[in-house]
Amino acid sequence: MQHPKKIISIVGARPQFIKAAVVSRALQQSGEAAQEKIIHTGQHFDDNMSAVFFKELDIPEPHFHLGVGGGTHGQNTGRMLESIEEVLLQEKPSMVLVYGDTNSTLAGALAASKLHIPLAHVEAGLRSFNKKMPEEINRILTDHAADILFTPTDTATHNALAEGIATEKIQQVGDVMYDAALYYAGKATHHEGILQRLSLRSGTFMLVTLHRAEMVDHRHRLQQVLNAVAQSGMPVVLPMHPRTKKRLQEFDTVIPKNILIIEPLGYLDITVLVQHAAVVATDSGGLQKEACFHKTPCITLRDETEWVELCECGANILTGADEGRIAAAIQQSLTTGEAVFNKPLYGNGDAGELIAAAILR
């Protein structure tokens, strides 16, 4: 009898929990062919940034919780690397699976490659071409360490090939976040009470998320964004990332009256808000796509995006932190036609199954 293939999946931040839910479900459906164990680095450690995701997305509880979080980039990555290596030496997996572009991703990639354990990277090939972003460094290093690169789009595949990564290492599978959007859309309807709790009417409010260092660590940029979204005249819902909350307090930032600050939300609550918002404004990578999946126009509060196809089709507008550009983009977004969302950019909703099959091969 053939022994099951032992997979170690490494996660640490909320977008990775969503992606891992898709692949874990596909691996479970393979029956006894795979045995997956999950390492949670603790990069996102608050209950409403972590535990709620495991509960509502039916992700198996992590087998290892490293409790690393709250330090600098160097401290976190170093501590994670040390702790992950210890687990890998103990477990001796057939493969390590990492997701996205966080410090948890890079630490997992380094640990696996130094121990000569095959490494697979989900959401490979993305590039913003801005090396001041720590995520960009994490992506590049992880892709070049990986044995299998699971790319989500044509652009991502092209980026990997352009950097000299061997064609046979690259498998374009589509986007696991699209799988998640399709799978959890029905479950999200049971969370529509959040609209009533926040006194919101469908199609009349804006959802805003802010968390990146290059945005929230700068007093002037942060204030400009808040002023710009407030100019829309719509109710603005801002789920508060811990980093953003800390900066708003440090800067003694003026919060316009039509901005409603709330605690971080679980995936299903956020999905409901994305589905019903008139427009989404974000510095997140994942939320840009989720808005497109749910046919909601998006404004990206950054100077570049990894998801260039969203801008090319008209679903997304890049503004940076410029108050005038943001205000103009909001008005433009409100006239976006539904046709821009109909082009299949991110696969067929079967990325999880394709990844699981490739791993088991």
Active site residues: 211
Burial of 218: CB neighbours in 10 Å, binned 0-12, 13-18, 19+: middle
User: What value, to the nearest 5°, has the Cα angle with vertex 299 and ends 294 and 302?
Assistant: 130
Q: What are the Cα distances from residue 130, in Å, to 126, 134, 302?
A: 11, 9, 11
Q: How far apart are CA 264 and CA 102, in angstroms?
A: 19
Q: Encode burial over 221-237: b for 16+ CB neighbours within 10 A, e otherwise.
A: bbbbbbebbbbbebbbb
Side chain identity at 292, as an amino acid letter? C
Phi–psi pair at 195, nearest 5 degrees: -65, -45
Q: Are 270 and 185 in contact (CB under 8 A)?
A: no
Phi–psi pair at 128, nearest 5 degrees: -95, -15
DSSP symbol at 61? P
The token pair at 136 is 């960009």
The token pair at 19 is 């992606």
Determine the angle formed by the axes of helices 14-28 and 267-276, rounding to 10 degrees. Answer: 110
Phi–psi pair at 329, nearest 5 degrees: -65, -35
